[in-house]
């Protein structure tokens, strides 16, 4: 296995714009448009410590949970590395939920793509999503309590 080669300054700038647009579209929560724009149909998706998942639809099992309960997701890239076969981005991610609660966390993504490709063949996400899951749990419990009250 050989080391990836460096990229030119213009390729770096293109990758910087690509990741900016990638995170912007992700923040709209339009998963069908996001996945079809930035990920190959048979993308290999690695989310934290879960086993790898294959295909664009695999992202729906992870991010689909946010659709009805998250009003905003923004990424601020804090470090970006661009190689000839991948983009690596560290970011601060801010979530705002429908109940007004907010969650901020650090995350790290690796996207396998060459500078010439528009879509990634592999997508890795690493981060501690526990605070967000806690808010999701609170929202689910509140919805269940409301539903239970409505039945009585």
How would residue 65 be classed by pLDDT, with cut points 50, 70 and 90?
confident
Report yes or no: 65 and 47 within 8 Å, Cβ to Cβ. no
Phi, psi dihedral angles at 118 (to 5 degrees): -95, -20
* 4 located within any domain: no
One-letter-per-residue 3-state SS of 42-78: EEEEEECCCCCEECCCHHHHHHHHHCCCEEEEEEEEE
Indicate yes or no: pTM above 0.85: yes
The dihedral region occupied by 145, where left means phi > 0, alpha psi between -120 and 50, and beta the remainder, is: alpha
* Domain coverage including residue 59: 9-151
Name which residue leads in pLDDT, 149 or 55: 55
Q: Is the pLDDT of residue 26 over 90?
A: yes
Task: Give the CATH number, domain containing residue 124.
Answer: 3.10.450.50
**How far, in Å, CA of 105 to CA of 24, rounded?**
17
Q: Could you give the number of structural domains in the chain?
A: 1
Classify strands 102-112 and 120-127 as parallel, antiparallel or unpaired.
antiparallel
* 140 located within any domain: yes
């Amino acid at each position: 296995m050989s080391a990836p080669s460096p990229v030119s300054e213009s390729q770096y700038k293109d990758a910087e714009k690509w990741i900016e647009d990638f995170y912007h579209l992700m923040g709209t929560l339009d998963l069908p448009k996001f996945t079809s724009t930035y990920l190959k149909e048979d993308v290999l998706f690695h989310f934290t410590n879960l086993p790898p998942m294959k295909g664009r639809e695999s992202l729906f099992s992870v991010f689909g949970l946010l659709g009805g309960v998250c009003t905003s997701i923004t990424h601020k890239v804090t470090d970006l590395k661009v190689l000839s076969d991948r983009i690596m981005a560290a970011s601060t991610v801010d979530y705002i939920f429908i109940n007004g609660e907010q969650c901020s966390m650090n995350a790290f993504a690796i996207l396998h793509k060459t500078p010439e490709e528009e879509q990634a063949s592999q997508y890795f996400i690493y981060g501690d999503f526990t605070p967000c899951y806690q808010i999701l749990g609170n929202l689910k419990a509140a919805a269940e309590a409301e539903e239970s009250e409505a039945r009585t």
